[in-house]
Chain A
Amino acid sequence: MKVLVRFFALYRESAGTNRTTLELADGATVKDLVGKILTDYPAVASDGTAVVVAVNSDYVSHNFVLHEGDEAALIPPVSGGIR
């Protein structure tokens, strides 16, 4: 299945792009997606910080199961935010 991944702010700069499309196995989770992104774009979250992910504009856990056509986004720490 195909999943769109969008990058913003710091992660956009680290990745050198604002989006990519990943081919993932059916039943893949956000954890699988993050693993692939960190392999393909080693500069993203290179300090080992846990990557926060949103799917279809909602924050999700790394156990979240993805579906064909989902839009995922890697969310750097939010401006002035307390996470």
Chain B
Amino acid sequence: MKIRLTQDVLDPEEITQQIRRDTNGAVITFLGTTRNQTRGNRVLYLEYEAYPEMATKQILHILAEVKDRWGIEQATVAHRVGRLDIGEISLVVAIASPHRKEAFAACQYTVDRIKAIAPIWKKEAFENGSAWVGCEELHHAVHS
């Protein structure tokens, strides 16, 4: 499957294997992982929420773009949703291509665009409350 949104633990090896082809000389697998602090505040855990139908549609659109721009035929994206502990893998983007230059460029583009347009949000839980990322300047933390 090209795009997966799941509460299950992501296995980057298994995801990468899906796109391996003998025609490709380069495979890039990007892992997004959950960080233990943000701007000096200790993060205890995170919660990811998606609008699944739209996230799938937007990511498919991004993969169509990387096919057009860099000729990428093999690409897959997996994103965790639900509660994640620190140090877990939240995002896997795997891109394969005959040559490395296109694979690197396409992988960076895909990750950047997912962050920008895929409707997937994360909420960081701190010792004294929590906050939706990207909204701190606009909205007060919801104190637990």
On A, residues with C-beta under 8 Å from B are 6, 8-10, 12-13, 47, 49, 54, 57-59, 73, 75-83
Q: Which residues of the other chain, B, contact A49 by a CB distance below 8 angstroms?
A: 138
B118 part of interface (Cβ distance < 8 Å): yes
Residue contact B116 to A81, C-beta cutoff 8 Å: yes
Residue contact A57 to B57, C-beta cutoff 8 Å: yes
By beta carbon, the residue of chain B nearest A57 is B54
Residue contact A9 to B132, C-beta cutoff 8 Å: yes
A79 to B50, CA, bound (A): 10
Residue contact A9 to B117, C-beta cutoff 8 Å: no
Q: Which of B57, B120, B142 contacts A78 (CB 8 A)?
A: B120
- Chain B contributes a number of interface residues (CB within 8 A of A) equal to 23
Given contacts A78-B120, A80-B134, contact A10 B115 (CB under 8 A): no
A59 to B51, CA, bound (A): 13
Residue contact B134 to A79, C-beta cutoff 8 Å: yes
Residue contact A79 to B120, C-beta cutoff 8 Å: yes
Q: Which of B117, B139, B142 contacts A59 (CB 8 A)?
A: B117
B121 part of interface (Cβ distance < 8 Å): yes
By beta carbon, the residue of chain B nearest A80 is B115
Q: Which residues of the other chain, B, contact A13 by a CB distance below 8 angstroms?
A: 142
Q: Which residues of the other chain, B, contact A80 by a CB distance below 8 angstroms?
A: 115, 122, 133-134
Q: Most chain-B CB neighbours within 10 Å: which of A58, A59, A73, A80?
A: A80
- Distance in Å from the Cβ of A71 to the closest Cβ of chain B? 8
Given contacts A57-B54, A57-B58, contact A73 B119 (CB under 8 A): yes
Q: Which of B54, B122, B139 contacts A73 (CB 8 A)?
A: B54
